[in-house]
Amino acid sequence: MMQWRVLLQKEWRDHVRSLKVLWIPLVFVLYGVMQPVMLYYMEDIMKAVGNMPEGFDMGITDVTSVEVMASTVGQFHLIVSLIIVLSFMGIISKERKNRTAALLYVRPISFSSYYFSKWSGATIVALVSTIIGLLASYYYTVILYNEVDAWRIAALIGTYSLWVLFVVTVTVTASALFPTGVAGTLAILLTYFVQLIDSIIGQFWTVSPWKLGTYAVTWLGSKPDSSDFWLSVVVTVIAIIVLMFVGVFGARKNMENIKI
Amino acid sequence: MSSLLMMLLPIIIIEFILLIVALIDLVKIPETNGPKWLWAIAIVCVSIIGPIIYFIFGRKQV
């Protein structure tokens, strides 16, 4: 526990110095806010830039706040996993390469506290940024459109947080197992590509971690099918725990690959 | 039009902060991936995406 705390402090300092604590929340807020504002002023923007025919109605003025929030989360979904994977793909593998790992591994540190410090550091940054971004878009949606039930937003954020946890775990574990390039590619494949497959042929199954993004949006309008939803949550939590064990194992196994 | 400006103001401010922070970091950092002047152009000219790409790929992360 003590080791974990010290390592987490080191991790936090790294995130501060690499400015991740600053730019990741800012970017997430930006993408959360942009969509509602853009949709609201679409007509003005179109009038300003293009010469629309007389009496042209795009039918976007009467969108509901739920639709706005849903499209914002859709937009958000594209950028979140990409930024998380790209900014944390080197979290363990770069230390093996830039000789930090040699300094760490000569000390009697357990690999689980090493891995968990990495995981917690990445999780804090990613999760807080996501929540701030979603809250910002909720705020703007309420200002520009109508009220959305607060519990729906809470359910959305909760479901989405689990997806973010999954992405972070996949990234950190891939980084523990492989060099940075391979880890990034693998994590992108496991989050983006599988999601693409899931959206194409995913109607044959209803339980998978990659469906969490869809379920999160479903909270806005109605409720997701509760048994499917909770099974997906359980499967995701199990997947996260398994990936953590694999990650600790990978960090230990790659000890021989460090540069001294 | 003024309400539009008020709504867009936070977006512009955030964009501006990203730009400034990226530029300050670019000046202070000893080495980047690729030439520094190219990164400066990318950060200033490509809004939002420029600073993000710099933070992800430009800073030397090994």
Per-residue pLDDT tens over the stretch A69-88: 888 888 888 889 899 999 99
- pLDDT (mean) for A218-234: 83
pLDDT for residue B26 is more than 70: yes
Residue A99 in tokens: 């000789």
Per-residue confidence (pLDDT) for residue B1, from 0 to 100: 57
Which region among A25-34, A222-231, B27-36 has the lowest average model confidence (pLDDT)?
Answer: A222-231
ipTM of the complex: 0.90
Q: How many Å apart are CA A140 and CA A143, to the nearest integer?
A: 5
Tens of pLDDT, residues A96-113:
888 888 888 888 888 889
Q: From the CB of residue B46, how many other CB atoms can be counted at a distance below 10 Å?
A: 13
Q: How many Å apart are CA A24 and CA A22, to the nearest integer?
A: 6
Per-residue confidence (pLDDT) for residue B9, from 0 to 100: 85
Domain count, chain A: 1
Tens of pLDDT, residues A114-158:
999 999 999 999 999 999 999 999 998 888 888 888 888 899 999
Per-residue confidence (pLDDT) for residue A148, from 0 to 100: 83
Q: Which of A27, A92, A139, A141 to mutate to test the interface with B (most CBs of B within 10 A)?
A: A27
Greater pLDDT, A76 or A174: A174
Q: Which of B6, B11, B19 to mutate to test the interface with A (most CBs of A within 10 A)?
A: B11
- pLDDT (mean) for B6-19: 87
β-partners of residue B59 are B32
**Among the partner residues A18, A26, A41, nearest to B59 by beta-carbon distance:** A18
**Among the partner residues A23, A87, A98, nearest to B18 by beta-carbon distance:** A23
Interchain contact, B4 vs A44, CB within 8 Å: yes
Interchain contact, A90 vs B62, CB within 8 Å: yes
Helices (H), chain A: 2-17, 20-40, 42-49, 65-88, 93-97, 100-105, 111-144, 150-177, 180-188, 194-201, 212-221, 226-253
**Among the partner residues B7, B14, B61, nearest to A26 by beta-carbon distance:** B14
Chain B residues touching A41 at Cβ < 8 A? 4, 7
**Which domain, by its residues, includes A92?**
2-257
Per-residue confidence (pLDDT) for residue B62, from 0 to 100: 47
- pLDDT (mean) for A240-247: 94
- pLDDT (mean) for A170-181: 92
